[in-house]
A and B are shown apart, each in its own frame.
Chain A
Amino acid sequence: MASTEELVEAYAEWRTRSNANPRLTKMLKGWDRVIHFTTTDTAQGYTMRVEGQQLSELAVGHEGQPDVVVTGSSEDFCDMYWGDLNPSEKYMSGEITLAGSQQDVMRIDAISMVAFLDT
């Protein structure tokens, strides 16, 4: 299980990469969203906001009304933020689940894919 500190550190790395990626920031134009992450193994909640084409810092706990809710293990989230995991594989196998519109779900996956140039 990944601790909150590990997750926050991993997310910070993901955030830096994403915010510095011009293609990704262009993709997030007009897409201000609140995303909740929920870990199934540690029962923790985290909040990420996308505002003005930039990812915010990761807040511990669920804040605000979400547009998307992502649920998975803390290990999977940590690996995803480091770019060591393809979230789509976990999604297609049911290990990561989502709630939200299909278009928003696509953007979440796009962030992880484009940020690590996995295309």
Chain B
Amino acid sequence: MTDATIASRATLRRALGLRTVVTTSTGLAFAALEYLAAAGLVAYVSGDSAFIPIIVAGILALVAYGFFGELNGMFPTAAAIRLYMKRSMDDRAALVITFTYMTTIILVIASDAFIVGSALAHAFGEPAWVASLWIIGLLAVAVVTNLRGISVAGLLQDVATSVVVLATLAIGVLALVRSGHGLHTPFQPLHGHGPGDLFEAVALGVFLYSAFEWVTTSAEEVRKPESISRGMLIAVGILCVVCSVAAVAMSHTLTHNELTSAYPQLYLGIAAIGHSGLWVMAGVTAVTALNTFNGGFITASRFIYGTAREGSLPRQLAHLNDRAVPWVPVVTLGALSAIVALLVALTHAWQVLVATGAALEAMIYGVAGFCALRLRKRQPDTPRPFRVRGLSVLGPIGVVLFGLLAVTASVSVQTRFNPAPLIIILVVGALSAFYVLRVLPGIREREAARRAARPRRRPGR
């Protein structure tokens, strides 16, 4: 970004401050799926030691924060992922990885719809099939509000995330206090478990922080460019504390059936303050959807729109409605999320969703490390307001570790070997590769021909 643009941010009439960056980063990570991931992680470690893999994952999240901080500093724009990947590797590989990664957004939206729908159905004492109606209703509301260009304002974002974080923290602490007995083996995660289980727990732990980096797409909206890096750092700290408390509280107070249900947070609420806790956490779960749907739909639809305008996706995906909303991506995202959510409701395979998301996020963190390393060599002179110290060592370690975490998460569901997440990722990757290698060249050729046939309007050129 030029000095001119950076200087002019300070004069923007509307700009995001650090507080909203923190709440956005935290809120994007803290989807309803967070509770299931925390509950799922508990199965891999002994007793009440779930906070250990979460802290370890937090350290790894800091490594990822370093990668994204440096990359965002080089390319402080919503289009950063396209820029740094295109400049680090062959553009076709970059596109395949990006499209595969975008699946995460669909998974998160779908899982939030499923979890909120299931939680509300349970809270109202409705039969399980009613959750499907809630799912469709929630996604329909999300699609319609997005099509009307309604988005969550910064202050509402601040309030929503604060409510979710503080309520979860309070409920977790109250549940622990109310249990009346001390923690079981809080410092022995491997008691009765192998190192592989701890590694899997760390992989799920990384997922607890995932999507904090999506706040980098707001790079153009902040008053001070360094707010993005600072905000992400603070968000990682907040997530570490809240998720540790929630996971330990769940491991300490919930039964196996409650932990493996689609709404363990409701049972945590009951453990904390009785039946009213169920309603508190049902409300908190619904509020997480506000952040997820708002952030997920806007981020993904604008990315699809920009990629279509760039010519890497069909032009039809850049059609705008009368409110300047790219309606085709919004409707497509809603439909795909509904299908995935209903499939999960039918198959009860929400843990597969968690594992798939964990694998995809670990993958993209590894890719970010790779990009940061490559760009140090390819663009050594590009200004880096945020520079990772020791990247030459941290970078390769991060790439290898996140790669291993991705593989581990993709073949394990609920402590059992299950290749379903890997199969999902490979299928999506293969479809992306087919599109990029076989379909996209034709789209680009036709677009180039269309533009060549159109006469230039500028006089004298």
Task: Specify which of A43, A89, A101 is in contact with B14 (CB 8 Å cutoff).
Answer: A101
Do A89 and B311 touch across chains, with their CB atoms under 8 A apart?
Answer: yes
Q: Which of B413-461 contact A (CB under 8 A)?
A: 456-458, 461
Do A67 and B322 touch across chains, with their CB atoms under 8 A apart?
Answer: no
Could you tell me the distance between the alpha carbons of A94 and B82 in the complex, rounded to whole angstroms?
Answer: 10
Chain B residue nearest in CB terms to A81? B458
User: B149 within 8 Å of A by Cβ?
Assistant: yes
Indicate whether A27 sits within 8 Å of B12 (C-beta atoms), given known contacts A102-B217, A106-B302: no
Indicate whether A88 sits within 8 Å of B310 (C-beta atoms), given known contacts A102-B217, A102-B298: yes
Do B322 and A113 touch across chains, with their CB atoms under 8 A apart?
Answer: no
User: B393 within 8 Å of A by Cβ?
Assistant: no
A65 to chain B, nearest CB (A): 5
Write the A35-49 contact mask toward B (1 if CB under 8 angstroms, else 0).
010101001000000
Do A69 and B149 touch across chains, with their CB atoms under 8 A apart?
Answer: no
> Please, which residues of chain A bring their CB within 8 A of the CB of B298?
102
**Count of chain A residues with Cβ under 8 Å from any Cβ of B?**
43
Indicate whether A102 sits within 8 Å of B318 (C-beta atoms), given known contacts A34-B13, A110-B324: no
> Please, which residues of chain B bring their CB within 8 A of the CB of A105?
78, 220
> Please, which residues of chain B bring their CB within 8 A of the CB of A34?
13
Task: Specify which of B14, B75, B82, B324 is in contact with A67 (CB 8 Å cutoff).
Answer: B14
User: B2 within 8 Å of A by Cβ?
Assistant: yes
Write the B69-91 contact mask toward A (1 if CB under 8 angstroms, else 0).
00000010111001100100000
Interface, chain A (partner B; CB < 8 A): 10, 13, 23, 26-27, 34, 36, 38, 40, 43, 65-69, 71, 78-79, 82-84, 86, 88-89, 91-94, 97-103, 105-107, 109-110, 113-114, 119
> Please, which residues of chain B bring their CB within 8 A of the CB of A13?
457
Q: Which of B299-341 contact A (CB under 8 A)?
A: 302, 305-307, 309-311, 315, 318-320, 322-326
Could you tell me the distance between the alpha carbons of A99 and B324 in the complex, rounded to whole angstroms?
Answer: 18
**Count of chain B residues with Cβ under 8 Å from any Cβ of A?**
44
Task: Specify which of B1, B310, B456, B461 is in contact with A92 (CB 8 Å cutoff).
Answer: B310
Do B77 and A89 touch across chains, with their CB atoms under 8 A apart?
Answer: no
Would you mind naming 9 contact pairs between A and B with Cβ atoms under 8 Å apart? Answer: A66-B8, A67-B12, A83-B457, A84-B457, A84-B458, A92-B79, A98-B5, A99-B9, A105-B220
Could you tell me the distance between the alpha carbons of A94 and B71 in the complex, rounded to whole angstroms?
Answer: 13
Could you tell me the distance between the alpha carbons of A110 and B326 in the complex, rounded to whole angstroms?
Answer: 10
Do B322 and A23 touch across chains, with their CB atoms under 8 A apart?
Answer: yes
B93 to chain A, nearest CB (A): 17
Of B5, B86, B310, B456, chain A has the most CB atoms within 10 Å of the CB of: B5
Do A102 and B461 touch across chains, with their CB atoms under 8 A apart?
Answer: no
B295 to chain A, nearest CB (A): 11
